[in-house]
Structure 1
């Protein structure tokens, strides 16, 4: 491209020619940034078992999270509902059910996992499946039981049940499993939207959340939450295999003195199910 411009230099005014040359590094840097996205890497901010035990104070900036992935899920500061990341935008569903795009660049989150999403497998399923049947189908598509998978489901749902936790205000914060009676549920019939989630292996429990974990966002971007139950109708399943992950841990007194020796596996399962 540069040689071609040099040959045609006398066809451009001097200032225009210099403007093109100055623009070349910017274009090259943008292309390099795009090429350097690792579509097989999972980034996690915070530690899941810490969130389960009450580490709800945000520490990782949402703007920084966007540089680590354009797809994912997490929890907001002070546990005010649920977070979802889709197409590089972050959405929050509060305890009230209000759902909106997060524009507050000063907001920090206590836990999230994200990746740059690029589907390796795509299938279209036009049949009703309850959650158990749906997960059995996903199992058949994810042969490596110790593999990490990011999963995007787009389409229509016969039924959806989601939940969100209320915010906390006074320390010491209660453990998440102890707040199950305070969660609020939302039910939707014949709705359409996106499920954003992962299936992670058992060896990632405690740092992350093993098994299936999905959050929902309606097409109108006005409803969402953590998936508790569902019946599919007409969906497209996109799967991306991941092969590495990193964890960014907080640096604050609450984290530094947190007891990670306690086994919180059952608490994690209870919170995922939305009941004990």
Structure 2
């Protein structure tokens, strides 16, 4: 019995479909509701300040977020896909995406709810107001606040060299900046308690003035007239440093009090 010959193009069809599927997976966009972290928060707080994660890769995971430059040289903010660095001198500049960083948390921000508030709000009052809006205590929220502020107090650390100390041991090295009657943006997140350690739970904001000349980690504020945009995130992913320092880092130590001190800029 003579066997039928199968045309070559029919044999190639499954291969072509397979290649197309692989290409589609490679170009598949990141989850729009995903919180992405480059690095592990308690590791960074504990002294992992070496650059390892490329800015170019970070941009694939978000256009909005906060982070830190290598060797702890100030603070980072990502807004509308642009990265800004505030150094310990107070100078804020746009960062080229050709380098690397030790830690960042980002997402693709899309406001799902918008609120406006007129009238004075202290930092404590603002957080209480946000709590009244963000009713899921276990929800992951990205928060963008834009408007007028009677006062914004920020900080940035100066660059450090090895051997690195934990952040909480270097609070006396912080540089503080006060900005009065300023307009600008707050970029940040509210992270639930169950994510503590991998992330910094609670509220965490960085500031950028409207003229892009001032910024830093938020320490205190007095808001005057603001618009609050909320994006609810439904998942989180993380890339970890593949370095000897990370591999040998002691994660058994509880750093909750250290994180509180670092967030507030003073020992608790």
Q: TM-score with structure 2 length normalisation?
A: 0.88
Tell me how far apart the structure 1 counterparts of residues 32 and 210 of structure 2 sit (CA, whole Å). Answer: 25
Tell me how far apart the structure 2 counterparts of residues 137 and 200 of structure 1 sit (CA, whole Å). Answer: 16
Q: CA deviation at 1:104?
A: 5.0
**1:95-110 alignment to 2 at 5 Å?**
95-105=88-98, 107-110=99-102
Match of 1:159 among 151, 161, 173: 151
Tell me how far apart the structure 2 counterparts of residues 260 and 181 of structure 1 sit (CA, whole Å). Answer: 24
Q: Which runs of 4+ in 1 moved over 4 A?
A: none
Match of 1:87 among 77, 80, 83: 80
Tell me how far apart the structure 2 counterparts of residues 146 and 267 of structure 1 sit (CA, whole Å). Answer: 22
Q: Does structure 1 residue 239 correspond to structure 2 residue 239?
A: no
Aligned counterpart, 2:218: 227
Aligned counterpart, 1:271: 262
Match of 1:129 among 117, 121, 144: 121
Tell me how far apart the structure 2 counterparts of residues 36 and 62 of structure 1 sit (CA, whole Å). Answer: 17
Q: CA deviation at 1:52?
A: 1.0
Aligned counterpart, 1:39: 32
Q: CA deviation at 1:38?
A: 2.5
Aligned counterpart, 1:146: 138
Aligned counterpart, 1:168: 160
For 1:145, what is the secondary structure of its paired residue?
coil
Aligned counterpart, 2:6: none
Match of 1:210 among 195, 201, 208: 201
Please give the per-residue CA displacement for 1:86-112, whole angstroms capped at 9, x wherever unaligned: 00011000011110110150x211110
Q: Provide the aligned C-alpha RMSD in A.
A: 1.3
For 2:120, what is the secondary structure of its paired residue?
coil
Q: CA deviation at 1:172?
A: 1.4
Gap runs ≥5 in structure 1? 1-28
8 Å CA contact 2:30, 2:60 repeated in 1: no
Q: Does structure 1 residue 253 correspond to structure 2 residue 253?
A: no
Tell me how far apart the structure 2 counterparts of residues 245 and 180 of structure 1 sit (CA, whole Å). Answer: 30
Match of 1:71 among 56, 61, 64: 64
Gap runs ≥5 in structure 2? 1-22
Q: How many residues align?
A: 242
Q: Aligned pair in 2 of structure 1 residues 36, 247: CA closer, same or farther (>3 Å)?
A: closer
Q: CA deviation at 1:63?
A: 1.1
Tell me how far apart the structure 1 counterparts of residues 258 and 30 of structure 2 sit (CA, whole Å). Answer: 34
8 Å CA contact 2:56, 2:97 repeated in 1: no
Please give the per-residue CA displacement for 1:62-87, whole angstroms capped at 9, x wherever unaligned: 11111110000001011000000000
Tell me how far apart the structure 2 counterparts of residues 95 and 179 of structure 1 sit (CA, whole Å). Answer: 13
Q: CA deviation at 1:37?
A: 4.9
Tell me how far apart the structure 2 counterparts of residues 269 and 109 of structure 1 sit (CA, whole Å). Answer: 23
Q: TM-score with structure 1 length normalisation?
A: 0.86
Tell me how far apart the structure 1 counterparts of residues 41 and 97 of structure 2 sit (CA, whole Å). Answer: 24
Q: Aligned pair in 2 of structure 1 residues 39, 104: CA closer, same or farther (>3 Å)?
A: closer
Aligned counterpart, 2:104: 112
Please give the per-residue CA displacement for 1:218-268, whole angstroms capped at 9, x wherever unaligned: 011110000000000111000000110011000010000000011011100
